[in-house]
Chains A and B, each alone.
Chain A
Amino acid sequence: MRRGPSWFNVTSITLGFAFLYIPIIILVIYSFNESKLVTVWAGFSTKWYVSMLSNQSLLDAAWVTVRIALLTATLATILGTLAALTLVRYGRFHGRTLFSGMVYAPLVMPDVITGLSLLLLFVAIGFDRGFWTVVIAHVTFTMCFVTVVVQSRLVTFDMSLEEAALDLGATPAKTFFAVTLPLILPGVVAGWMLAFTLSLDDLVIASFTTGPGATTLPMKIYSQVRLGVTPEINAVCTVLIAIVTTGVLIASIVTKRREVERQRAERLAIQG
């Protein structure tokens, strides 16, 4: 039997990762291009980063986007975690099928439909469109991603820990914050980050639901790309990639370290 890496497996992984990463690497390299063309290399320069930093409307859009993403991620994590608890813990209850349907459908629902339907809702109830409508729309489509991530963590959860806390007289709320939450925290953090990046990334739903004064960064990038490709956009994209990558790497290292520590503590506890 084949053990370890075979020729075929190594090739497919290498080609696959090359395909996934080369476009991003090229994008980053050309953000340092001296020339205005993104396809002809004319020497190293950081001038596009300077011009990006002096582009006030771009910076405003970035700030709006980050605020929306922070609010979205926090609200979506709270709602998504509650939904995950409901799905994993509550067995059968009236309307469960509808509930799980509403949780899973947004995972695959095309953005244009979600965006249009939410916009029509806001118009129908006469809600002024702008910053808050984008936040509400983003919470709606990101919370199901949080639910799925937290759910996968909850199903491996040892219920007897919770029972022990309750038997020892902790209130359900206290049990949740002292026992359940710390144990499912990696899932909750991953869910928060997923919601944050999905919100940061969204063009279609934000375009439908936004109003005056709330232009997000993807909308700004999109309208610039339609006018033509410039290294300045590459610079913006590079900064975004750098931020997200750093965040994801730090989070994964921290959670991994915590996990290892927790396992060691558990082993010590068992050995007594």
Chain B
Amino acid sequence: MAVTDTQPTPPPGIAAPAALAKRGRLRWLVVAIPYVWMLLLFLVPFFIVVKISFSTTAIALPPYTPVFDLSGGLSGIWDSVKEFTFDNYVFLTEDSLYWRSYLTSLRIAFVSTVLILIVAYPIAYGMARARKEWRPSLLMLVILPFWTSFLIRVYAWIGILKQEGLLNQFLLWLGVIDKPLVIMSTDWAVYIGIVYSYLPFMILPLYAALEKMDETLLEAAADLGCPPIQAFWKITFPLSLPGVVAGCFLVFIPVVGEFVIPDLLGGSNTIMIGRTLWNEFFNNRDWPVASAVAVILLLILVIPIVYFQNQQQKEAEKAR
């Protein structure tokens, strides 16, 4: 708290500056309530997932063994730990379905991130260069679809992309094609769905970065004889890089684990890992294997997630 350092000590009886943040019990409560909630409901569950990924499937409730029995004390827990097995992980490497799912997810996430960046950049750029009084309304228009249900927006594309859907009807009517394109249930439909659903996540950070940019830099470049395209690559794009990075992470990480879009728009070939995990859990009822799938997915994503957190934190510090 920089403020407290520069102020003289206040006379007793009068609250110190920023005392709202300094009062003992209140301060303690403000930190503790969300902290404990997240510890118990965000962090602890991961350890349970890891534990169950080492368990064996059983026809019981819950459908895995060993189940920790705290009444047995430490030796009871140790007996359970001895029952742990790596079988689920070995199983994941043996069945090509799993590693293919991981690779497909990473490929689709990577390609979609690039596609979204290409689609979002001109929109964000146009918004940032629009007249000042229009900008809040344009921003509102980008955020509005984001508020309407994700599921609904994916569903909307089914009617458009189907064999007898509106896109094919339109293209046939235009005469661009003479037989309907097969888009639905292919990777293309998944890409379209992802680009559509995640577009605002890329536009917003890009817009934030571009709007802050000092336009006189471009004027200076033009005065010095730099052609606009070169000025874009030398000035605008590097300055928008924080937005590009933030947007790419906001899109890439969740898309790797995406379930709804590949399930509703993709075909049986588009096996992404979120879908595999879902099937493992709901259809095969194999909780230990589903947990092992989740652990590996988390290990793949942990580096981008930690990097994303650091970026977020840095941005938050800078804004202060």
Point out residues on A near B: beta carbons under 8 Å.
1-2, 4-6, 8-13, 16-17, 19-21, 23-24, 26-27, 30, 38-39, 79-80, 82-83, 85-91, 93, 95, 99-113, 116-118, 120-121, 123-124, 136-137, 139-140, 143, 147, 151-152, 155-156, 159, 162-163, 166-167, 169, 172-173, 175-176, 180, 193, 197, 200-201, 203-204, 207-208, 218, 221-222, 225-226, 229, 233, 237, 240-241, 244-245, 248, 252
- Contact flags (1/0) for B288-320 with A, using CB distance below 8 Å? 001100100110010011101100110010011
* B165, CB-defined interface residue at 8 Å: yes
CB of A20 within 8 A of CB of B142, answer: yes
Kindly list chain B residues whose C-beta atoms are within 8 Å of the C-beta of A156.
319
Q: With A172-B23, A201-B150 in contact, is A221–B199 under 8 Å at CB?
A: no
Q: In the complex, which residues 136-179 of chain B have their Cβ closer than 8 Å to any Cβ of chain A?
A: 138, 140-145, 147-153, 155-160, 162, 164-166, 169
- What distance in Å separates the Cβ of A246 from its nearest Cβ neighbour in chain B? 11
What residue in chain A is nearest B169 (Cβ atoms)? A39
- What distance in Å separates the Cβ of A46 from its nearest Cβ neighbour in chain B? 19
CB of A172 within 8 A of CB of B26, answer: yes
CB of A204 within 8 A of CB of B15, answer: no
Kindly list chain B residues whose C-beta atoms are within 8 Å of the C-beta of A100.
309, 312-313
- What distance in Å separates the Cβ of A56 from its nearest Cβ neighbour in chain B? 21
CB of A218 within 8 A of CB of B14, answer: no
CB of B274 within 8 A of CB of A112, answer: yes
Task: Tell me, in angstroms, the Cα distance from A25 to B309 when the chains sit together.
Answer: 36
What residue in chain A is nearest B145 (Cβ atoms)? A20
Which listed residue (B48, B151, B196) contacts A221, Cβ 8 A? B151
CB of B259 within 8 A of CB of A112, answer: yes
- What distance in Å separates the Cβ of A35 from its nearest Cβ neighbour in chain B? 12
Task: Tell me, in angstroms, the Cα distance from A12 to B31 when the chains sit together.
Answer: 45
Task: Tell me, in angstroms, the Cα distance from A225 to B264 when the chains sit together.
Answer: 8
CB of B23 within 8 A of CB of A16, answer: no
- Contact flags (1/0) for B220-261 with A, using CB distance below 8 Å? 001000000000000000000000000001100110111110
User: Chain B's interface: helix, strand, loop or mixed, by majority?
Assistant: helix
Task: Tell me, in angstroms, the Cα distance from A107 to B34 when the chains sit together.
Answer: 16
Kindly list chain B residues whose C-beta atoms are within 8 Å of the C-beta of A203.
150-151, 260
Task: Tell me, in angstroms, the Cα distance from A76 to B216 when the chains sit together.
Answer: 43
Task: Tell me, in angstroms, the Cα distance from A233 to B164 when the chains sit together.
Answer: 19
CB of B313 within 8 A of CB of A116, answer: no
CB of A104 within 8 A of CB of B312, answer: yes
CB of A27 within 8 A of CB of B159, answer: yes
What residue in chain A is nearest B127 (Cβ atoms)? A13
CB of B257 within 8 A of CB of A113, answer: yes
Q: With A229-B159, A240-B152, A252-B140 in contact, is A116–B35 under 8 Å at CB?
A: no
Task: Tell me, in angstroms, the Cα distance from A120 to B249 when the chains sit together.
Answer: 27
